[in-house]
């Protein structure tokens, strides 16, 4: 499957820059990572800039690995909304293998969310989104809201 319009909008909503829309100048995100565009972090350093078109191209590239992770790891059928919610989630928390994952070793792969989903416990999996609301052990309001929206999309 490929990311649909609802999933792309969800990612853009929560990956926008400090001034709204794509960040055209690199900034430090709440986790202390240099970020530009729609949540792009690979190779970003202080002072980097981009155009809106480059931000959109990076988003396409950056969501490719999250799509692959969902397609590779989920063993049960998904509808488009479930897929989109999971791609948004994986884009934010990481695949979890540590291999080519910008988020490192923790993430979707070892999650209870994935385990329940692969047991076809869709409701149980949906209830796991809310557990992923922290960065460096601190609850972030933006993550609370993002997880609520991902869960809502997953349940549509």
Q: Which residues contact 6 (CB under 8 A, 6 or more apart)?
A: 80, 81, 84, 153
Q: Is 15 a catalytic residue?
A: yes
d(CA 58, CA 76): 29
Out of 15, 50, 67, 150, which one is annotated catalytic? 15
Is 123 exposed, middle or buried, given 0-12, 13-18 or 19+ CB atoms closer than 10 A? exposed
98: phi then psi, degrees, rounded to nearest 5: 85, -15
Out of 29, 50, 67, 150, which one is annotated catalytic? 29
Q: Is 53 a catalytic residue?
A: no
The residues carrying an active-site annotation are: 15, 29
């Amino acid at each position: 499957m490929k990311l649909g319009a609802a999933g792309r909008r969800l990612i853009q909503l929560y990956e926008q820059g400090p001034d709204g829309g794509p960040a055209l100048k690199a900034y430090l995100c709440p986790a202390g990572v240099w970020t530009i565009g729609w949540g792009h972090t690979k190779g970003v350093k202080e002072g980097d800039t981009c155009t809106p078109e480059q931000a959109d191209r990076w988003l396409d590239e950056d969501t490719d690995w999250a799509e692959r992770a969902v397609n590779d790891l989920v063993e049960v059928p998904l509808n488009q909304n479930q897929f989109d919610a999971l791609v948004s989630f994986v884009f934010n928390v990481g695949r979890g293998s540590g291999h080519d994952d910008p988020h490192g070793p923790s993430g979707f792969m070892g999650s209870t969310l994935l385990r329940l989903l692969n047991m076809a416990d869709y409701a149980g999996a949906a209830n796991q989104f809310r557990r992923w609301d922290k960065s460096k052990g601190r609850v972030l309001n933006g993550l609370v809201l993002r997880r609520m929206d991902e869960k809502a999309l997953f349940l549509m």
